[in-house]
Chain A
Amino acid sequence: MPGAFFEWFGEIGFFCGRVFRAAVTPPYEIRELIRQLDEIGSKSAFLVLLAGAAIGVVLSLETRNSLIRFGAKSSLPAIIMISIVTESGPIITGLVVSGRVGAGIGAALGSMRVTDQIDAMEVSGVNPYRYLASTRILACALMLPLLTLAADFSGVVMGWVANTIAEPMSFRLFLETGLKHMTFNDFLPPTFKTVVFGLIIGVISCFQGMRVRGGTEGVGRAATSSVVLSSLFIILADVVLVRFIIVFFP
């Protein structure tokens, strides 16, 4: 078991090396990259908006009662905005995308592997690490910050809506009160840390998909393991990145 664990890390390291070499050397697969940006980005947007909205509402409902108890109700907009922008938005986006996109990539590449489509691509003189893997990984890394912005926006708006239902407040006032306590360091590093989440989702799901063995059962396993492993590594990476952000962007 420990052998398999280290073997997995060795193989994924080797895989990353091959993808990196393929990605930085021409020809560049711009058309496929754009297709993947659409596939990964715009088709995940609705889910991410929904998840962000739910987080905004829940945060507003939960925090409101606690703040009233401590007599700090006026801090509600700031608390909602800071917690969404610094942590809830990025992590929820990462987990939602790893569920939707990770499973999709793992299953798609896995089924291409077992039906010889990846071999057919190689025989055609096309590098599958460039055409299939690097485009998907890059698209994940580029789209995650944008999707996070969408989740943040939706969370803040729905947080305001939930708050306004309980106690009417203009959106402008809500934003002004919230933003008064925020700096760019609260906003930029947490948003850009999702590039790492995107890389994790892309690398793990492409790797799990392209190494599939064992027919359709293997494809199912690849889809599941893509989601499980990328979610796990996103959470672990988040711990490290939060510490990094606290140290370097106080």
Chain B
Amino acid sequence: MQKDAGPAIIVKNLHKSFGRQTVLNGIDLKIGKGETVAVLGRSGTGKSVLLKLIVGLHKPDDGSIQIHGQEITKLSLEELNTIRKRIGFLFQEAALYDSLTLEDNVAFPLRRHNKIPEKEQKDRARELLSNVGMDKDFTKLPSQISGGMKKRVGLARALALDPDILLFDEPTAGLDPITASEIEELILKLQEERKTASIVVTHDLHGAKTVSDRMALIHEGDIVIEGTFDELRKSDDPFVSRFLREGKE
């Protein structure tokens, strides 16, 4: 229990390269419980890689990642899976299983980890879908719904195991402004209700400002600045100024 006392996520001196390409070059980041941090940066700067490292999909070359005080870089797969049950992940394209219906997509993690009767799993999946505004079309396939709807279903699936950490990879990418704003409102509503620690990876400055308490800007493999939007605005770093100027605020 003592392990849960500190921040939800601590990333220290994280390095990751793919072949000769260095993607992350000594990242440090701390996310408190109930806090939402937006990780910003240009495309291809390793924002999504950072999320995949945090959830154990990639192994770092060097550095440390602690989730609720537990170092995850050296865990066995079984131990890592125990930690993963506490993390909800919304993928960039939602990553819904295309052979399963919407309710089966949401029920998938429940079937694996919760030994509850199938009827209850289905009811719980439908309840989660309703919470994200998908109160019909439970039996449709992912190919039959729009991009915004897919994100909602992906969000419902991410919430299935009642996680206390949520990771959002470009939650509004590829959506029209109205749908993007609806997804942002949904994220805010969930944070209000669940008080999860969240990381929102995005290059959308407006969205980041709306959903986050704090922002971190990645450039050339490292975090160049961290703070509130106002703190970022006061920065005289040329890259930060340019990013904020060019960003669609």
- Contact A127:B77 (CB < 8 A) given known A119-B91, A120-B97: yes
Chain A 113-150, CB within 8 Å of chain B: the 1/0 string? 00111011111111100000000000000000000000
Given contacts A116-B91, A116-B92, is CB(A123)–CB(B84) below 8 Å?
Answer: yes
Whether A124 and B108, one on each chain, are in contact in the complex, defined by CB atoms closer than 8 angstroms, is: yes
Per the bound structure, the CA–CA distance linking A117 and B94 in Å amounts to: 9
Known: A125-B85, A125-B109, A125-B112. A120 touches B95 (CB 8 A): yes
Among B70-119, those with CB < 8 Å from A are: 77, 81-82, 84-85, 87, 89, 91-93, 95-99, 108-109, 112-113
Expressed in whole angstroms, the Cα–Cα distance for A122 and B95 within the complex equals: 12
Q: Which of A117, A120, A122, A126 has the most CB of B within 10 A?
A: A120
- Are B84 and A117 in contact, CB atoms less than 8 angstroms apart? no
Query: Which residue in chain B gives the minimum CB-CB distance to A39?
Result: B99
> In the complex, what distance in Å separates the CA atom of A146 from the CA atom of B115?
35
B95 and A115 contact, CB distance less than 8 A? yes
Partner of A124, one of B77, B82, B99, B112: B112
- Of residues 80 through 108 on chain A, the ones whose CB sits less than 8 Å from some CB of chain B are 108
Judged by a CB distance under 8 angstroms, whether B205 is at the interface is: no
Q: Are A125 and B92 in contact (CB under 8 A)?
A: no
From residue A188, how far is it (CB to closest CB) to chain B in Å?
36
Chain A CB within 8 A of B55 CB: yes
| Contact B57–A124 (Cβ < 8 Å) | no
Known contacts A119-B52, A119-B57, A120-B89; A125 and B95 CB within 8 A of each other: no
Q: Are B91 and A120 in contact (CB under 8 A)?
A: yes
CA distance A120 to B109 in the complex (A): 10
Question: Cβ of A123 and Cβ of B112 under 8 Å apart?
Answer: no
Chain A residues with Cβ below 8 Å from B52 are 119
A111 / chain B contacts, CB cutoff of 8 Å: 98
Contacts of B99 in A (CB 8 A): 108
In the bound complex, residues from chain A placing their C-beta under 8 Å from that of B81 are 125, 127
Query: Which bracket fits the contact residues of A?
Result: 10 to 19
Q: How far, in Å, is A30 (CB) from chain B's closest CB?
A: 12
CA separation between A116 and B82, bound complex, in Å? 21
- Asked if B57 and A117 sit within 8 Å, CB to CB, the answer is no
A111 to B99, CA, bound (A): 11
Q: Which of A108, A116, A126, A127 contacts B95 (CB under 8 A)?
A: A116
Contact status B108-A123, CB under 8 Å: no
Pick the contact of B113 from A121, A122, A125 — CB < 8 Å? A125
In the complex, A139→B77 CA distance in Å? 25
Of listed A27, A116, A122, residue having the most chain B CB within 10 A: A116
A184 to chain B, nearest CB (A): 41
Contact B84 A125 (CB under 8 A): yes
Q: How far is the CA of A123 from the CA of B81 in the complex (A)?
A: 8
Q: How far is B77's CA from A127's CA once the two chains are assembled, in angstroms?
A: 9
How many whole Å from B117's CB to the nearest CB in chain A? Answer: 15
- The complex places the Cα of A133 from the Cα of B49 at a distance, in Å, of 25
The docked-state distance in angstroms from the alpha carbon of A140 to that of B161 is 33
The 8 Å CB contact of A123, one of B55, B96, B98, is B55
B57 close to A123 (CB less than 8 A) = yes
CB distance from B229 to the nearest CB of A (A): 29
Complex formed: what's the CA distance from A117 to B150 in Å? 13
Distance between B171 CB and nearest chain A CB, rounded to angstroms: 14
Distance of A122 Cα from B51 Cα, bound (Å): 14
Which 9 pairs between the two chains have the least Cβ-Cβ distance? A116-B95, A125-B81, A120-B95, A124-B109, A123-B89, A116-B91, A125-B84, A117-B95, A126-B112
B binding-site residues for A, Cβ under 8 Å: 52, 55-57, 77, 81-82, 84-85, 87, 89, 91-93, 95-99, 108-109, 112-113, 157, 161
Q: Which residues of A contact B (CB under 8 A)?
A: 27, 108, 111-112, 115-117, 119-127
Q: Provide a sorted-by-A list of 29 A–B residue pairs whose CB atoms are within 8 angstroms.
A: A27-B112, A108-B99, A112-B98, A115-B93, A116-B92, A116-B93, A117-B95, A117-B96, A117-B97, A117-B98, A119-B91, A119-B95, A120-B89, A120-B96, A120-B157, A122-B56, A123-B84, A123-B87, A123-B89, A124-B84, A124-B109, A124-B113, A124-B157, A125-B82, A125-B112, A126-B108, A126-B109, A127-B77, A127-B81
A117-B96, A120-B97 known; 7 new pairs, CB 8 Å cut-off, are A112-B97, A116-B95, A119-B95, A122-B84, A124-B112, A124-B161, A125-B82
